[in-house]
Copies of this chain bind each other. A is one copy, B any other.
Amino acid sequence: MVVRKEGACELPMRLRGGARARTTLSDVARKAGVSPITVSRALREPHKVSDKLRETILGVVDEIGYVPNFAARALASRHSGIIAVLGPVLGSPGFSPVASGIEDRFQAGELRTQFANIGLDASEEARQLNLFVAQNPAGIIMESVAEFPVNRPLIDEIDCPVVQMMDTSLEPLDMGIGVCHRSAAKLAVRHLLSKGYSKIALLGGNKDIRSRRRFEGYREALSDAGLYQPGYVFDTEGRNSVADGHSLMRCINSRYPEIDAVFCHDDELALGALFAASQLGLRVPEDLGICGYNGLHFSGVDDPPLTSVSLPLYEIGFKAAEMLMAALAGGERKEGAVELEVALVEGASTRR
């Protein structure tokens, strides 16, 4: 694995030569009349320094505005103090609560989180993993996009704790947390069936493991009812935005006007489908039932309010961070993946 890229430009001139000298640990030490290592301890392990000395030292730190050099710290300690968070679509509304959960747990600690987008591409996942691992992260939290075989050797070699936020059908390599997307999808489809819908389409991608599991749940629930129709499965190419749901819904309506319900891979798609239905003159929920996924709230923009499968997204992030902290603290690790509950939240978009 090489980091260098073909055609990479070299560092510009101005970067050569050092920057202005900054205040260092030694500056603080000199001013406080102690040795550098004591200052280092006062900052990182305050209880190992006497109260009096600590007070003096922190006073000097404030006074001269000392800020530690992370590069030096990382080099000396052999870990960067960074928790790498790798996810397929970091900016998406569905990931946002997960990120909040992670950040909230690490709040005020010495660990910094760094997020990286891997898209829906196992090779990008491998590239990013390599990059991070080379920097000795303190830990890794990742939302796997692929079944593991692809990057398994890579992950096996990592010597920091790894938490995978995942579908619980898979065995985590180190630690895992997630939900069972298959049964979550079944929940949704059975809800639609119970409301009397019978021609139920699936809207969404099939590029990552979670989508495929949802598809399986969808297919099983419909097959059980003798209603599965392969032609009713529609993949989006894009990022599952509102616009994607909108255009896909219009296309579905023109090709398969008999479809009476859609189960969407996420809430944004569902919202787009809702708007399209409104433009097409379809009444929701009478003519068309719509069920989303994730359990996001659109506070009134969705009219009628959307039914959705609510996922504990914040909790997944928070607990992932917690598991990582526990592993770092040397606690026992749970075997297998932690499975969290999902719930169907019925809005008016399927209430008939």
Contact = CB atoms under 8 A, between A and B. Distances in A.
Contacts of A80: 71
Most buried by B among A6, A11, A298: A11
A328 interface: yes
Report whether over half of chain A's contact residues are helix, strand or loop; otherwise say mixed: loop
Give this chain's copy count: 2
Interface string A167-204: 00000000000000000000000000000000000000
Interface in A20-46: 20, 22, 43-46
Nearest to A78: B18
A114 B66 CA distance: 22
A310 interface: no
Interface string A104-121: 000011110010000000
Contact of A9 (B109, B159, B272): B109
A68 to B, nearest CB: 6
23 contacts: A1-B65, A2-B61, A2-B62, A9-B108, A10-B45, A10-B47, A11-B44, A11-B110, A11-B111, A12-B328, A12-B329, A14-B328, A15-B138, A19-B79, A69-B136, A71-B72, A71-B74, A71-B80, A91-B96, A114-B114, A243-B300, A275-B303, A278-B278
Interface residues of A, number: 79
